[in-house]
Amino acid sequence: MSTAFKYYRSGRYFSVNRMLQRINLVPQIALAEKIKKKMPVFFVISIAVICLFFYSRITIINYQLTDKEKEINRMGQQIEKTDQLQQRIIVLSDQIKNRKKEYSETASRVADMENIAGEKRHFSRILTIISNSLPSSVKCNKIILHDNSGEISGSTLHYQDLPEMVRKMKEDPRFMVELQDIDRLKDNSLEPFIFKIVFTLKK
């Protein structure tokens, strides 16, 4: 029996062996040769992939650097604003200190003026009481006033006017009055009696 196989196609028989012989007659390319021919293409593709990778990486890094630079600029502006605020705070603190000092000095002056005004009113009331108690024949040569005390030195034509003056001063309940000294002049003076009255004010 023949080893040749036949198959029927379009009314004709074809020999399988003959077809195999024709196929075997086509020259076959070695695998190494195929790889060698495809290497340039593979190399170009590899280079392109590597370049694309590094380009993408550079783009990402550049974006990150740009973002960091923006952040650094923002921080620098904030630091500059902070320095400006600190300088402004220092200036305001100095102004506040000066205002406080000025306020303290002004308040002290006002207090002194109020004290002077209070003392003036205080002494004015005392002088008013003395003036209202003073008889027409009595002459005051010197009046010394302290905070809550004082003394009156003077002369008079009539001795009896002095107790009367003391009595009138005592009409004010705040006054404690005493006729401390009285003396008669030896010469023929128009005001032969000299005196000193001391007084204190009740608190």
Residue 115 lies in a domain: yes
Q: Is 1 helix (H, G, I), strand (E, B) or coil?
A: coil
| Last residue within a domain, chosen from 93, 109, 133 | 133
Query: Residue 27 carries which DSSP code?
Result: P
Q: What is the DSSP annotation of 148-195?
A: SEEEEEEEES-TTHHHHHHHHHHTSTTEEEEEEEEEE-SS--SS-EEE
Per-residue pLDDT at 198? 93
| Residues of the chain with confidence (pLDDT) below 70 | 1-39, 114, 116-119, 187-191
| Last residue within a domain, chosen from 90, 112, 133 | 133
Whether residues 106 and 33 fall in one domain? yes
Scan for tokens 């010469």, then name that residue. Answer: 187
Whether residues 63 and 124 fall in one domain? yes
d(CA 67, CA 168): 97
Residue 181 lies in a domain: yes
Whether residues 57 and 122 fall in one domain? yes
Whether residues 50 and 98 fall in one domain? yes
Per-residue pLDDT at 73? 81
Residue 148 structural domain = 135-201
Whether residues 111 and 167 fall in one domain? no
d(CA 163, CA 160): 6
Kindly state the helix (H) or strand (E) to which residue 200 belongs, with its residue range: strand 193-201
Query: Residue 11 carries which DSSP code?
Result: T
d(CA 168, CA 86): 71
Residue 23 lies in a domain: no
Residue 166 lies in a domain: yes
Question: pLDDT averaged over the chain?
Answer: 77
Give ∠ CA 156-158-161 in degrees, rounded to 5: 85
| Last residue within a domain, chosen from 77, 107, 133 | 133
Output the domain CATH number for residue 175: 3.30.1360.100
Whether residues 67 and 108 fall in one domain? yes
Q: How many domains does the structure of the chain reveal? A: 2
Per-residue pLDDT at 110? 74
Residue 1 lies in a domain: no
pTM here?
A: 0.44
Whether residues 115 and 157 fall in one domain? no
Per-residue pLDDT at 192? 82
Per-residue pLDDT at 44? 75
Q: What is the DSSP annotation of 136-149?
A: TTEEEEEEEE-SSE
